[in-house]
Structure 1
Amino acid sequence: MPTATSKIVGALACQTNSFLKTLQTTVVSCKDHTPQLSSKDKQNKNKKKTDEVKTSSIPEFEIELEDTNLFPEGGGQPYDTGSIYLPDKHEIKVLRVIRNQLTALHIANEPIEPGTLVKLEVDWERRIDFMQQHTGQHLLSSVFDTHGLDTLSWSMGDMINYIELPKKVDEEVVEKVNAKVNDLILQNIQISVTTPDNHGGELDLSRIPDDYDTSKGIVRVVKIGDIDANPCCGTHLSSTGQIQAISLLHQQNVRGGNSRLFFLCGSRVYKYLNKQHSILKEIQGTYLSCQLDEVVDKVGLLNLNYKQSTSRESNLLKELANIEANKIFEDFKKGSKDIAYVYRFDNNPEYLLVFQKEFTTLMNSNKESGVNLTDKFTLVLLNGDYKSGLGGMIKVLGPKAESLQPEIKNRITNLKGGGKGTSFQGKIPKYEKGELESLLAFLQELN
């Protein structure tokens, strides 16, 4: 009996008929699957052992079939998932489909005996979504080509995709492209797949993976009417109308002056719209108490009020810090104490920084007073509290900084930091119960 073989990637059932939801086929081989290092792992220089691969505790098997309607990852399109049904109706989930050179391998948690006749079913919701995004990207890139903007790369996200263009695109051009692609969708232009020989024109084959042997494999050319023709191994729609809609969102500047243009296709457009509308309605109804068309003005007013209140708070903070700095400065100047502390219950360091700045200004402008933090006086600045669980910070400035370190560390378990001479600074991720009170009592005794 001749040994069964599988169809090569390029001639798979999912590629010849991307709308094939189920397929009867036979298991060619089944063996243990060993995960390979991803390209990211190989490039990650921070890994301690780049030759080690993280493996799951659940065994995985790679199943080769005579043919498949499940697409292995490629061409910027993620792999399909689905199910394999055995003759007794037992279902085995296909976790992912990978490509090993010209062979598609189905990864599952259960082995299947070679020679078994099985029924293969694709996760159709996932497949049709991927086809809408992928075909939409081809159409979008073809329209940008007419504006002299080549697509350098693209990425399909869980919701939002992007294409990378050689420069930031003027919003006027973006609007024109958006209108054009949706007009081409409305025209319901036929999409077909051919081969380079039948295409009859020059093609850029530079993006075909190095491990795909084109001399033994099949290079597929996806054509959108007379608009576009590009080599692609992915599954595609049969007409532009099936894309349904394309929405261009925003741009992001990236390396070398390039720009990423983010977009959505197909059912993702209305799903994204529904999600954003729900968020907007919640903001409008719960937080702003206004009509939808008043949201922008309302947010603008809130932002203005916030800036004004922040400015007032900052001025009051500075005023309070100045008062406290003057009080301690005068105490030092009179010689009534040689150590003082400033405590703030919140863990925002802003007040302590403002205080330190105000105190430094007083010392620099009154040098004849003899007040300094080098050989005579010591300041302890700390903040945070136990109840918030957010911790705080501590800073000691002055000749007693070094001698105070062990006393402070004995009282604050989670203190991280250090210093030498006249300066010590530390961060407290979290105060334990009673620690802050103990430290404040200790500082009060010294005060």
Structure 2
Amino acid sequence: MVTEKLYYQDQYMRSFTARLQKSDRDEKGHFYVILNQTAFYPTGGGQPHDTGTLNGVNVYDVVEIDGEVRHYIEEPAEIHETYITGEIDWNRRFDHMQQHTGQHILSAAFEEEFNYKTVSFHLGAEICSIDLEVESLPDEETAHVEKIANNIIMENRPVDTRWVSKEELSNFSLRKEVSVVDNIRLVIIPNLDYNGCGGTHPDSTGQVSSIKILHWEKQKKKKIRVYFVSGMRVLKQLDEKHKVIQELTNTLNSPQQDLNETAIRNLRMNQGLEKKVNELNMEMIEYEAESYIEQAESQNNWKIAKAIFYDRPMPELQQLAKRITAKSDGILVLLINGKGDKLQLVCSRSNDVVINMNDLVKNTLPVIDGKGGGSDSIAQGGGDRLISAEELMMELMNQAAGFKNE
């Protein structure tokens, strides 16, 4: 039951009528219909599928299996008539035609100018890309290729398609070997590109409108991935980037040509401020450490410095605990922090205190269904606020007393 492919007869066809041949569900339970003919292009050859409607019902996916074109639809109960009217989402179709033909032009230009072969193509929802078989790509080469590609577009060369046999292939200078032996379809841009392709294309390069290379990056196996857009996507990219630039000019109070310099200057200023804040924060922690040492409670042969905080960053608590034990001998530090519906704790000791902090924390954490750990000199953890911070401190004190009595 091979479906007749109307998109190869007329790629500009936006609506059509067909007879319902089959309706069924696939192995995943998704409903689809098969028609005797269709203008819906199925996913293949690097080009995404068309979308649209059948009798007003949305078509969300189109695939070809063994010559049958399956149209996946959202409301199977509505498709029951013998004759079906199909409507193609033309904006999506023409966008794909522009991107796909733009890729042909760009790949041919790279190969013609520098002998860089395209080994893969991706037509994304926003941006397209090709992978070039080359290790590096200088700026001047991409600028040159982009100029050549846009010149070809402005020349408005014809874009022809032709069905040929395997024997006839020798009459064409193909950019790469075709992947099929039967029903071979060539897309031809005279004096530029002869390529086996099953996708849809406009009938002239002028309809691609323009091509813009956005950026490129290195890939594995000595390849360069080039990101680009064609047609209406160029205007969309320009519009989006202009809005961002306009917002930045207002935010940074700087004209467009000075944005980079202004941004660098502000970043350096912020880095300097962050460094100063960190230095002041460390000075504050030093003073805090001295204060907690003075207030530490003596118990047996040790002193205990303890405190409860709320919404304080854990790195600060860890730094405070370290500074207290570095400044004083014979001291145990117990710090608790309440954060939302969570409780956190940090425990540390000076070198002459013989309590293992990792064991102390792990023995205490079950009361808050928590997790954590560390070394024998400093450990931390956190869990749910199943008890109050004061009750957790009492549990820590009791656990520490238990270690003393061992």
Fold shared by both chains (TM-score > 0.5): yes
Q: How does 1:12-51 map to 2 (within 5 A)?
A: 12-35=5-28
Specify every segment of 5 or more residues in structure 2 that has no aligned partner in the other structure, as ranges: 350-354, 402-406
Q: For the structure 1 residues 432 and 334, does the alpha-carbon distance in structure 2 shift closer, same or farther, using more than 3 Å as the test?
A: closer
Deviation at 1:118, TM superposition (A): 1.8
Q: Which residue, 342, 347, 356 being the options, matches 1:396?
A: 347
Asked if residue 247 in structure 1 is aligned to residue 198 in structure 2, the reply is no
Q: For the structure 1 residues 143 and 63, does the alpha-carbon distance in structure 2 shift closer, same or farther, using more than 3 Å as the test?
A: same
- Between 287-296 and 139-148, report the one with greater CA deviation: 287-296
Q: Which residue of 1 aligns with 2:71?
A: 106
Q: Which residue of 2 aligns with 1:60?
A: 30
Q: Which residue, 50, 53, 74 being the options, matches 1:80?
A: 50
Secondary structure in 2 matching 1:28:
strand
- How many angstroms apart in 1 are the aligned matches of 2:249 and 2:386? 41
- Between 240-249 and 316-325, report the one with greater CA deviation: 316-325
Q: Which residue, 282, 300, 303 being the options, matches 1:318?
A: 282
Q: Which residue, 374, 380, 393 being the options, matches 1:425?
A: 380
Secondary structure in 2 matching 1:256:
coil
Structure possessing the higher relative contact order (Cα contacts under 8 Å, 6 or more residues apart): 1
- Higher fraction of strand: 2
- How many angstroms apart in 1 are the aligned matches of 2:137 and 2:307? 53
Asked if residue 121 in structure 1 is aligned to residue 49 in structure 2, the reply is no
- How many angstroms apart in 2 are the aligned matches of 1:314 and 1:419? 25
Q: For the structure 1 residues 266 and 438, does the alpha-carbon distance in structure 2 shift closer, same or farther, using more than 3 Å as the test?
A: farther
- How many angstroms apart in 2 are the aligned matches of 1:408 and 1:15? 69
- How many angstroms apart in 2 are the aligned matches of 1:347 and 1:334? 26
Asked if residue 201 in structure 1 is aligned to residue 165 in structure 2, the reply is no
Q: Which residue of 2 aligns with 1:298?
A: 262
- How many angstroms apart in 1 are the aligned matches of 2:198 and 2:387? 65
- Between 393-402 and 418-427, report the one with greater CA deviation: 418-427
CA contact (8 A) 2:337 2:389 kept: no
Q: Deviations over 1:318-354 (max 9, x none)?
A: 2233333455567789989533246665554443454
Asked if residue 165 in structure 1 is aligned to residue 132 in structure 2, the reply is yes
Q: Which residue, 98, 102, 108 being the options, matches 1:132?
A: 98
Q: Which residue of 1 aligns with 2:231?
A: 266
- How many angstroms apart in 1 are the aligned matches of 2:396 and 2:287? 21
Q: Which residue of 2 aligns with 1:88?
A: none
Deviation at 1:440, TM superposition (A): 6.1
- How many angstroms apart in 2 are the aligned matches of 1:392 and 1:267? 54
CA contact (8 A) 1:385 1:436 kept: no
- How many angstroms apart in 2 are the aligned matches of 1:383 and 1:165? 54
Deviation at 1:106, TM superposition (A): 0.9
- How many angstroms apart in 1 are the aligned matches of 2:320 and 2:27? 60
Asked if residue 232 in structure 1 is aligned to residue 197 in structure 2, the reply is yes
Q: Which residue, 136, 139, 150 being the options, matches 2:117?
A: 150
Deviation at 1:186, TM superposition (A): 0.8
Deviation at 1:314, TM superposition (A): 1.8
- How many angstroms apart in 2 are the aligned matches of 1:379 and 1:133? 65
Q: CA RMSD in A?
A: 3.5
Q: Which residue of 2 aligns with 1:53?
A: none
- How many angstroms apart in 2 are the aligned matches of 1:221 and 1:320? 74
Deviation at 1:203, TM superposition (A): 4.5
CA contact (8 A) 2:216 2:224 kept: yes
CA contact (8 A) 1:252 1:260 kept: yes
- How many angstroms apart in 1 are the aligned matches of 2:42 and 2:31? 15
Secondary structure in 2 matching 1:120:
strand
Q: Deviations over 1:73-99 (max 9, x none)?
A: 0011111111112xxxxx222121111
- Between 245-254 and 132-141, report the one with greater CA deviation: 245-254
CA contact (8 A) 1:378 1:400 kept: no
Q: How many equivalent pairs are there?
A: 387
Q: For the structure 1 residues 31 and 442, does the alpha-carbon distance in structure 2 shift closer, same or farther, using more than 3 Å as the test?
A: closer
CA contact (8 A) 2:57 2:78 kept: no
TM-score by length of 1: 0.75
- The one-letter amino acid of 1:317's match is N
Q: For the structure 1 residues 332 and 280, does the alpha-carbon distance in structure 2 shift closer, same or farther, using more than 3 Å as the test?
A: same
Deviation at 1:180, TM superposition (A): 1.4
Specify every segment of 5 or more residues in structure 1 that has no aligned partner in the other structure, as ranges: 36-58, 86-90, 209-213, 364-368
CA contact (8 A) 1:14 1:70 kept: yes
Asked if residue 378 in structure 1 is aligned to residue 332 in structure 2, the reply is yes
CA contact (8 A) 2:365 2:382 kept: no
Deviation at 1:221, TM superposition (A): 1.2
Q: For the structure 1 residues 238 and 18, does the alpha-carbon distance in structure 2 shift closer, same or farther, using more than 3 Å as the test?
A: same
Deviation at 1:293, TM superposition (A): 4.0
- How many angstroms apart in 1 are the aligned matches of 2:140 and 2:312? 47
- The one-letter amino acid of 1:6's match is V
Q: Which residue of 2 aligns with 1:277?
A: 242
- How many angstroms apart in 1 are the aligned matches of 2:245 and 2:178? 41
Q: For the structure 1 residues 385 and 145, does the alpha-carbon distance in structure 2 shift closer, same or farther, using more than 3 Å as the test?
A: same
Deviation at 1:194, TM superposition (A): 1.5
- How many angstroms apart in 2 are the aligned matches of 1:436 and 1:168? 59
- How many angstroms apart in 2 are the aligned matches of 1:82 and 1:28? 19
Q: For the structure 1 residues 255 and 384, does the alpha-carbon distance in structure 2 shift closer, same or farther, using more than 3 Å as the test?
A: farther
Deviation at 1:68, TM superposition (A): 1.0
Deviation at 1:29, TM superposition (A): 1.7
Deviation at 1:110, TM superposition (A): 1.0
TM-score by length of 2: 0.82
